[in-house]
Amino acid sequence: MVVVMQPQATQQHIAAVDDRLTAEGFRTQVIYGEKRTVVAAVGDRRVMETLGLEALPGVEKVVPIMKPFKLASREVKEENTVIRVKGASVGGSELAVIAGPCAVESREQLLAAAWAVRAAGAKFLRGGAFKPRTSPYSFQGMEEQGLKLLAEASELTGLVTVSEVIDEESLAMALDYIDILQIGARNMQNFRLLKAAGKSGKPILLKRGLSATVEEWLMAAEYIMSEGNQQVILCERGIRTFETYTRNTLDLSAVPLVMGLSHLPVVVDPSHATGKRDLVLPMAMAAVAAGAGGLLVEMHPEPARALCDGQQSLSPREFAQLMTKLKPVAKAVGKSLWGVGA
């Protein structure tokens, strides 16, 4: 990092900073400019962040140079991480399409959705059993009953299941039923949950927080990985900006950016990002063209009757069209799309 000293910093101030850094094993260089002195140091940023240098007298600011994440970094592991579940994979040459309803509402609804997902050529079924809702008066999900229905749907259709867990309790419950555990945007920095996910041994789909920087997002993945679980799938789902025409602003640049910084697979959720059915297809196409390893798409047998997010859910027919249209784009970026009519 670089420690920038205030113009009025004294020799003692500079020495104090230098000493604390060298004491911690940093290689330092003091550079005297006309106006200011800076202390440059190279070493482990994770240690640096525990030193509280900014609180030392004479220090103006500390500018970090190295990245704070390690296990998630491509500098540590060059080749892409590919996550394999029940013969499907995320992060490889095959595009991973995860589709299904916002919430599991009934056996009939979920099975109809599952068969439609499979018929369209996707391999992953999503469905929420625990719904974190902004209003305490909204539908909160079927909880364990929903998980059981997902497990049944998986058994009948062979689809890999993805479902959100919202705390240690729901995570423990989901272990017996679900293939890939999702951690939602609101819980991206629920560190207890991240650690539990790290211990779960299950692949984790980690959504980017609504206002999380790319660095914070990768640090959240680092939490999971630091507990020994390397199977993390990153999901871009839109960030909060001043623009309100769309539900959020899909930050697609984050896809190639994160793929450069990290070896973890990145998928995109155009449904939550846009909140508008009409925008799901074009943004799904764009996500694949940007290099995303997969998609998370909301599909409901009857969107107009959905208990949540109906306005952004595709019908089975619209979803099948999406899969067909995706094919040439996937091909253009060297990816295959299983089961979609050649």
**Residue spans of alpha helices (H) in the chain:** 11-23, 45-48, 107-120, 144-157, 168-174, 191-200, 214-225, 254-261, 270-274, 277-289, 316-332
* Least spacing, CB of residue 202 vs its own copies, in Å: 19
- Using rule CB under 8 A, residue 250 touches its own copies: yes
Q: Which is nearer to its own copies, 77 or 276 (CB)?
A: 276
Residues 124-153 within binding reach of its own copies (CB under 8 A): 132-139
Contact present, 312 and 319 (Cβ < 8 Å): no
Torsion angle, CA of 327/111/310/234, rounded to 10 degrees?
-50
Structure-block tokens of residue 24: 């911690």
Residues 173-232 within binding reach of its own copies (CB under 8 A): 186-187, 189-193, 195, 210-211, 213-216, 219, 222-223, 226
Q: Give the whole-angstrom CA distance, residue 26 versus residue 47.
A: 9
- Using rule CB under 8 A, residue 317 touches its own copies: no
Greatest pairwise CA separation for the chain in angstroms: 75
Chosen residue from 23, 87, 278, 341 binding its own copies by CB under 8 A:
278
Chosen residue from 9, 104, 288, 337 binding its own copies by CB under 8 A:
288
Contact present, 114 and 318 (Cβ < 8 Å): no
Q: Which is nearer to its own copies, 118 or 263 (CB)?
A: 263
- The total of other beta-carbon atoms located within 10 Å of residue 304's CB is 9
Q: Give the whole-angstrom CA distance, residue 180 versus residue 164.
A: 9
* Least spacing, CB of residue 152 vs its own copies, in Å: 26
CB-side neighbour CA atoms (13 Å) of 217: 30
- Using rule CB under 8 A, residue 311 touches its own copies: yes
* Least spacing, CB of residue 103 vs its own copies, in Å: 11
Residues 153-172 within binding reach of its own copies (CB under 8 A): 166-169
Q: Tokens 């993805």 correspond to what residue?
A: 162
- Using rule CB under 8 A, residue 328 touches its own copies: yes
Residues 39-68 within binding reach of its own copies (CB under 8 A): 40, 42-43, 46, 49-50, 52, 54-57, 63, 65-66, 68
Q: Which is nearer to its own copies, 179 or 251 (CB)?
A: 251
Q: How far is CA 100 from CA 52, 124, 138, 161, 340, in A?
A: 47, 8, 20, 10, 17
Q: Which is nearer to its own copies, 87 or 334 (CB)?
A: 334
Q: Which is nearer to its own copies, 143 or 152 (CB)?
A: 143
Q: Which is nearer to its own copies, 158 or 275 (CB)?
A: 275
Chosen residue from 287, 296, 320, 337 binding its own copies by CB under 8 A:
287
Going residue by residue from 75 to 94, which x/- string records binding to its own copies, judged by CB under 8 A? x-------------------
Structure-block tokens of residue 324: 């067909």
Chosen residue from 80, 82, 325, 338 binding its own copies by CB under 8 A:
325
